[in-house]
Amino acid sequence: MKIKLNELLENIKTITILGNENVGISSICFDSRQATDKSLYIAQKGSLHDGHEFINQSISLGAIAIICETLPKNILPEITYVQVKNASESLGYIASSFYNNPSEELSLVGITGTNGKTTSVSLLHNLFRAMNIPCGMLSTVENKINDTVIPSTHTTPDAIALNKILREMVDEGCEYCFIEVSSHALSQNRTAGLRFKGAVFSNLTHDHIDYHKTFEAYLKAKKSFFDHLPTDAFALTNIDDKNGNVMLQNTQAHKFTYSLKTIADFKCKLIENSFEGLHLLIDEQEIWFEIVGEFNAYNLLGVYATARLLGFDSFEILEKLSSLKAAEGRFEYLPNPKEIIAIVDYAHTPDALENVLKTISEIRTGNEKIITVVGCGGNRDAEKRPIMAHIAHEFSNIIILTSDNPRFEDPTEILKQMEKGIPSHSSKQCLMIEQRREAIKTACMLAQKSDVILVAGKGHEKYQEIKGVKHHFDDKEELLKILTKI
């Protein structure tokens, strides 16, 4: 595949162009090590590295053209240099053009918010597949082209990988694509150049402050998604979240709301919530879903509303939705011979953990103990550590603080920071067990029939990251192994 450089620059605001604009480009990259013969290298200024420092390396490997924000001192006559104001934004448009603008051939819907993105994207994909509609999805857990699974490395892929897989979806006949849109991706312009049919906002709570520095910056990143929607798109927001209306300010898209608690375009009433599922009233129709928790009632309503806004029939949507299950590692109940209620959930933010524990508290019928195993990741938002522990303490009978993905931090120090959220006068049993396997085993040993064990934080993940190495570790696997043995 080869395309002229000037074709890739059609939607780019350039400052200076030095060299031949008609040169043929065989590939594009932002990692200089991936440059090959006749590559276009985009030099981005990242949080860890400045791509401008690797311009010469990309040229040595065959790059014939460079996109940069600052022109290098040593200009080579055989190389074309294009100076732009924002290289990462330019990358998005260049990637779209290079892959022949695949988002314009799909109905692309993005889900953003702190919690619920993965479940919503997974439900939308499964719903449309159940209706025999060709579609793809991009999520934290996995990517799919129709029913073919492609491993996922990021919540939202980089602009080149994103457009490449969207092109593959189009080539495989996909008509729709549902994608998680993270705040990191929005801040880094990974979705620049994409044309969205719709955007959905789930909620906004304390998360990723380590990256965004302030909650206001985090909010602004999410809002930017809605600010850039085209006039023929829809913007759907959870009006029960205090930031729901903020997302709709300034958007040119058609505005819609959904709610469990107030007047909205799409309404839902929660009739019953149990460990077996949800009984909901949506559009005057009572439906039973094999998905648990009020927070999932919001996810289901958002998915229903999205499908309706895409033009599908209410009855068919609800009929198909009622047979679907939640995404892996999202309030996943694990049947076991000890008849202990064992639940694995990805909850790694204060709000997500509180939602899960509130749901468990509301569903339990008597004096069943709630035993919560929870940790916090290293090299991430440290402010939430005592908050997470405090929430676990508030809603649990026994709390076991343990290691999550410590990464390059000392797990003992993380636990000490979490411990600050436990009241000093607490009469509840609170244990600190650094080894996650031992923590889960201890929870199983302390549980009796009908007690609830919640192992929170990792959900679908199949690894534990320690000192830069990912070791195999699966919360579900560990739970079931222990509960089968004891």
Which of 265, 299, 321 delimits the end of a domain? 321
Question: How far apart (Å, rounded) are the C-alpha atoms in residues 426 and 417?
Answer: 17
165 plus 285 within the same structural domain: yes
| Mean pLDDT score of the chain | 94
94 plus 106 within the same structural domain: no
Which pTM was predicted?
0.84
Q: What is the mean pLDDT of residues 254-267?
A: 97
220 plus 276 within the same structural domain: yes
User: What is the per-residue pLDDT for 153?
Assistant: 74
Q: What is the CATH number of the domain that holds 123?
A: 3.40.1190.10
Query: Residues near 53 by Cβ (< 8 Å), separated by ≥ 6?
Result: none
User: What is the per-residue pLDDT for 208?
Assistant: 45
Q: Is 430 a residue whose pLDDT tops 90?
A: yes
Cβ–Cβ contacts within 10 Å for residue 447, how many? 22
Q: What percent of the chain stands above pLDDT 90? A: 84
Q: Is 210 a residue whose pLDDT tops 90?
A: no
User: What is the per-residue pLDDT for 351?
Assistant: 86
pLDDT digits (tens, 9 = 90+) for 111-124: 999 889 999 999 99
265 plus 366 within the same structural domain: no
HEC readout, 54-102 = HHHHHHHCCCCEEEECCCCCCCCCCCEEEEECCHHHHHHHHHHHHCCCH
Q: What is the mean pLDDT of residues 306-331?
A: 94
218 plus 91 within the same structural domain: no
Q: Is 195 a residue whose pLDDT tops 90?
A: yes
Q: Is 486 a residue whose pLDDT tops 70?
A: yes
106 plus 91 within the same structural domain: no
Q: Is 2 a residue whose pLDDT tops 90?
A: no
Q: Which string of DSSP letters, residue by residue, matches 338-391?
A: T--EEEEE---SHHHHHHHHHHHHHH--SS--EEEEE---TTS-TTHHHHHHHH
145 plus 255 within the same structural domain: yes
160 plus 203 within the same structural domain: yes
Q: What is the CATH number of the domain that holds 22?
A: 3.40.1390.10
| Locus of tokens 């085209």 | 230
User: What is the per-residue pLDDT for 185?
Assistant: 85
Categorize the per-residue pLDDT at 375 as very low, low, confident or very high, splitting at 50, 70 and 90.
Answer: very high
Q: Is 47 a residue whose pLDDT tops 90?
A: no
pLDDT digits (tens, 9 = 90+) for 155-191: 678 999 999 999 999 999 999 999 999 888 888 899 9
User: What is the per-residue pLDDT for 84?
Assistant: 98
Q: What is the mean pLDDT of residues 248-258?
A: 97
- Range with the poorest average pLDDT among 93-107, 329-343, 384-398, 401-415: 329-343
Categorize the per-residue pLDDT at 26 as very low, low, confident or very high, splitting at 50, 70 and 90.
Answer: very high
- Range with the poorest average pLDDT among 211-225, 250-264, 419-433, 465-479: 211-225
Question: How far apart (Å, rounded) are the C-alpha atoms in residues 179 and 100?
Answer: 19
User: Do the domain assignments include residue 34?
Assistant: yes
User: Do the domain assignments include residue 304?
Assistant: yes
384 plus 430 within the same structural domain: yes
User: Do the domain assignments include residue 61?
Assistant: yes
Question: How far apart (Å, rounded) are the C-alpha atoms in residues 452 and 486?
Answer: 16
User: Do the domain assignments include residue 39?
Assistant: yes
User: What is the per-residue pLDDT for 472?
Assistant: 97
User: Do the domain assignments include residue 33?
Assistant: yes
Q: Is 207 a residue whose pLDDT tops 70?
A: no
388 plus 406 within the same structural domain: yes
81 plus 160 within the same structural domain: no
User: What is the per-residue pLDDT for 212?
Assistant: 46
User: What is the per-residue pLDDT for 155?
Assistant: 67
Which of 81, 98, 115 delimits the end of a domain? 98
User: What is the per-residue pLDDT for 213?
Assistant: 54
Query: Residues near 371 by Cβ (< 8 Å), separated by ≥ 6?
Result: 396, 397, 398, 399, 400, 443, 446, 447, 451, 452, 453, 454
Q: Are 361 and 395 in contact (CB under 8 A)?
A: yes
User: Do the domain assignments include residue 327?
Assistant: no
Integer-rounded Cα radius of gyration of the chain = 24
146 plus 276 within the same structural domain: yes
Q: What is the mean pLDDT of residues 184-202?
A: 93
Going by DSSP bridges, is the β-strand pair 135-138/176-180 parallel, antiparallel, or unpaired? parallel
**Overall number of domains in the chain:** 3
Which of 297, 321, 345 delimits the end of a domain? 321
User: Do the domain assignments include residue 326?
Assistant: no
Categorize the per-residue pLDDT at 206 as very low, low, confident or very high, splitting at 50, 70 and 90.
Answer: low
The more confidently predicted of residues 371 and 182 is 371
Q: Is 127 a residue whose pLDDT tops 90?
A: yes
User: What is the per-residue pLDDT for 376?
Assistant: 96
Q: ∠ at Cα 35 (30, 37), nearest 5°?
A: 140
Domain enclosing residue 132, as ranges: 102-321
pLDDT digits (tens, 9 = 90+) for 50-106: 999 999 999 999 999 999 999 999 999 999 999 999 999 999 999 999 999 999 999
Query: Residues near 380 by Cβ (< 8 Å), separated by ≥ 6?
Result: 210, 407
User: Do the domain assignments include residue 31?
Assistant: yes
Q: What is the mean pLDDT of residues 398-411?
A: 97
The amino acid that residue 45 corresponds to is K
User: What is the per-residue pLDDT for 1?
Assistant: 64
User: What is the per-residue pLDDT for 211?
Assistant: 52
